[in-house]
Amino acid sequence: MGELDGSVAVVTGGASGMGAAMVATFVEEGARVVVADLDEDRGSMLAKELGDDARFLRTDVTRESDVAAALATAVDEWGGLDVLCNNAGFGGARGPLESISEDDYDITFDVLVKSVFFGLKHATEPMRRRGGGSIVNTASVAGLQAGEAPHLYSVAKAAVIHLTKTAALELGEHGIRVNAICPGVITTPLAVGRPHPTDEQFAKFRERVGPYQPIGRVGEPDDIAQAALYLASPRSGFVTGTSQVVDGGAFAGRSWSRQNRTMTGAAPIRMYRPPGR
C-alpha cells in the first residue's frame, strides 16, 4: 500500500527538477498525476515512462485558463483532485533595481505568484467535493531571508509563503490543507544555471557547493519530493499554514567547522563561572 493510494494529483512544473521528482514519487506511492508544464518533450517523456498513472498537459501557469485546464484534466481523467503542487518557477529578473524593466517584473510575479493563486483558486471546488485535500506550494528560503537570491525572486517567494498562510485559514474550513516547502540549494537546472546540465556539470556543482552546507552536501530533487509526499499524505493531516524549510541546515547558520575556522587565531573563549566555582 502506497501513502497516496487512490489519490489524484497535479504537479505544475512537473517535467523536470523537483517537480519531476514529485511526480515520480507520487506515482510510486499510488497516485495518478497530471504533469503540467511548458516543456512538451520532457513532460511527455516522463508521462510515458510512468505509464497509465501519469498524463502530460502543456501548461502555461501564467494563464488562468491553462491552470484551470490542468486541474480539470485530473477530474476528467480520474474523477477528482486530492493533491496540488504549485511548483512551477524560474529565477526571474536579476540585477540591481534600476536595471529591472516593467516586463521583467511582471513575468517574474506572474510565474512565481500569480500561478500559485490560480492553482489555489481552481483547486478549491474539486477538493471541496472530495471532502478535503492538500495543496503544497514551492517557496524558498529566499522568501524567509534577504540576500539569498535576486530582489524579485525573494519578494515573490515571500508572497507565496504569506499566501500559503492566508489560504490555509480560509480553506481549512473545507478540509483543505495548504503548506509551503522552502528549499535551499537543490541540484536542479535552475541552481546550476543551465537549461540542460550534463552529468559532469551537476557533479561539479555538487562538489563546489556541498561543503558549504551544514549537512555536508547539496540537496537533491528527491529531498524535496519526500517533503512534498509528507505534506500530501494523511501523515500530515494536522499540518496546515506552515513553511517547511528543507535546506540541509543552511538557514540555521554556518556549519560548526566553518565557524571555528573563522575564529582561528582569535583569543580563546572563556566560559563564565560563578564566583566560588
- Reported as a single tens digit per residue, the pLDDT across 237-275 is 999 999 999 999 999 988 877 776 655 555 554 545 566
b/e map of 159-177 (b: 16 or more CB within 10 Å)? bbbebbeebbeebeeeebb
Average pLDDT of the chain, as a whole number: 93
- List 105, 153, 212, 230, catalytic entry: 153
- Reported as a single tens digit per residue, the pLDDT across 221-230 is 999 999 999 9
Select from 234, 225, 223, 235 the least CA-distant residue to 7.
234
Alpha-carbon distance of 12 to 135, in angstroms, equals 12
Q: Stretch 108-122: mean pLDDT, rounded?
A: 98
Residue that wins the pLDDT comparison between 179 and 191:
179
Is residue 32 pLDDT above 80, yes or no?
Answer: yes
Catalytic status, residue 105: no
